Amino acid sequence: MPSQPTLSNKEWPLMRLLWEKSPQPAYDLITALSDQESWHANTIRTMLARLHKKGAVGIRPYKNLFLYYPLISEEECIAAESESFLQRVYGGALKPALLHFARSQKLTREEIRELKKVLDGKD
Amino acid sequence: MPSQPTLSNKEWPLMRLLWEKSPQPAYDLITALSDQESWHANTIRTMLARLHKKGAVGIRPYKNLFLYYPLISEEECIAAESESFLQRVYGGALKPALLHFARSQKLTREEIRELKKVLDGKD
DNA sequence: TGCCACTAACTACACATGTAGTATATTCAT
DNA sequence: ATGAATATACTACATGTGTAGTTAGTGGCA
């Protein structure tokens, strides 16, 4: 089995759209993304072609166009990228990473409680 | 102020060495890294040159060689990379990211307690 | 029925990155 | 003083990425 293709920076928003809803024609993705990210239509098509080439999305013909759908799961991608991030930035140490995120100011009280519940389950 | 230079994948291990101890001559870095990462000496020198060029490390002459030292702090780099990771992978949502890490199997009981203490402080 | 609009395919191009080889300058030991 | 070892500088090159222009096919409307 060929290892998971990895996603580049800008491929993530595209894949997120496909994970949310698929299959989708290029047109819909272009509409959504030219808006969200202000990319040129051809840029998005190029990225779709590359994603297809690297095995991240599949193509199915439909009428006179193609529908795109993900071939790799969001969970796997997130897991892989998280692991890579952990290695790169923290040399693989999970605890400091978690502490960093936990200390950041952006958690609401509610989220903190939720997180603690998960941790309780593991303790 | 020019925005923080960002570090590529392979630049992190180099910077980690410099953050641990600096200044250091190229030689020491090469010794450490050819071992840890099995890189060619010239590869490491090229990376040092690029890090210097992008303003991530400084150079100070010492005897017949150069000493390298970081110009950017580990904390800032980690913060920047963590934020970029969060945006890329989770679309900026901190909670799911934390949950993902917290659910991963690799935390020891001790680490879980420590983490909960940090969260308690914020609740 | 000929042209327009739209799809998809192909081409382009600069910059970053990983990975080194080559060349030049300096120095230390014999 | 000269040759070997080092240190630094410069060059090379394939691949990935961001960004888009150009070309060709085709179905539907005027």
* Run of H or E including A58: strand A57-62
Q: Which of A61-65, B45-49, B55-59, B103-107 has the lowest mean pLDDT?
A: B103-107
List pLDDT tens digits, range A68-110. Answer: 999 999 999 999 999 999 999 999 999 899 999 988 877 888 8
A49 touches strand C (CB under 7 A): yes
Please give the backbone phi and psi of residue A59, each rounded to the nearest 5 degrees, phi first.
-125, 135
State the DSSP code for A104.
S
pLDDT given for residue A123 in this prediction: 66
Q: Which nucleotide is nearest to B9 (CA to C1')?
A: C17
**Mutate which of A6, A76, A98, A116 to test chain B, going by most B C-beta atoms within 10 A?**
A98
State percent of chain A over pLDDT 70: 98
**CATH 1.10.10.10 domain position(s) in chain B:** 11-70
> Residue A26 burial (CB < 10 Å; 0-12/13-18/19+)?
middle
Nearest CA to A110 out of B27, B95, B92, B64 is that of B95
Query: Per-residue pLDDT for B123 more than 70?
Result: no
A45 touches strand D (CB under 7 A): yes
Neighbouring residues of A29: CB distance < 8 A, sequence distance ≥ 6: A14, A17, A18, A44, A48, A68
List pLDDT tens digits, range B68-110. Answer: 999 999 999 999 999 999 999 999 999 899 999 988 877 888 8
* Run of H or E including A60: strand A57-62
CB-based contact B103:A88 (threshold 8 Å): no
Question: How confident is the model over A6-20, as a mean pLDDT?
Answer: 97
Calpha distance A95→A102 (Å, rounded): 10
B21's tokens: 């101890």
| C25 C1': nearest CA residue | B64
B120 confidence band (pLDDT: 50, 70, 90): confident
User: Which positions on chain D have an atom < 7 Å from some protein CB?
Assistant: 6-12, 16-22, 26-27
> How many angstroms away from the CA of A51 is the closest CA of chain B?
16
Find the angle CA(B104)-CA(B110)-CA(B116) to the nearest 5 degrees. 75
B121 confidence band (pLDDT: 50, 70, 90): confident
A49 and chain B: CB distance < 8 Å anywhere? Answer: no
Contact A94 B103 (CB under 8 A): no
pLDDT given for residue A89 in this prediction: 96
CATH numeric code, B11-70: 1.10.10.10
List pLDDT tens digits, range B22-32. Answer: 999 999 999 99
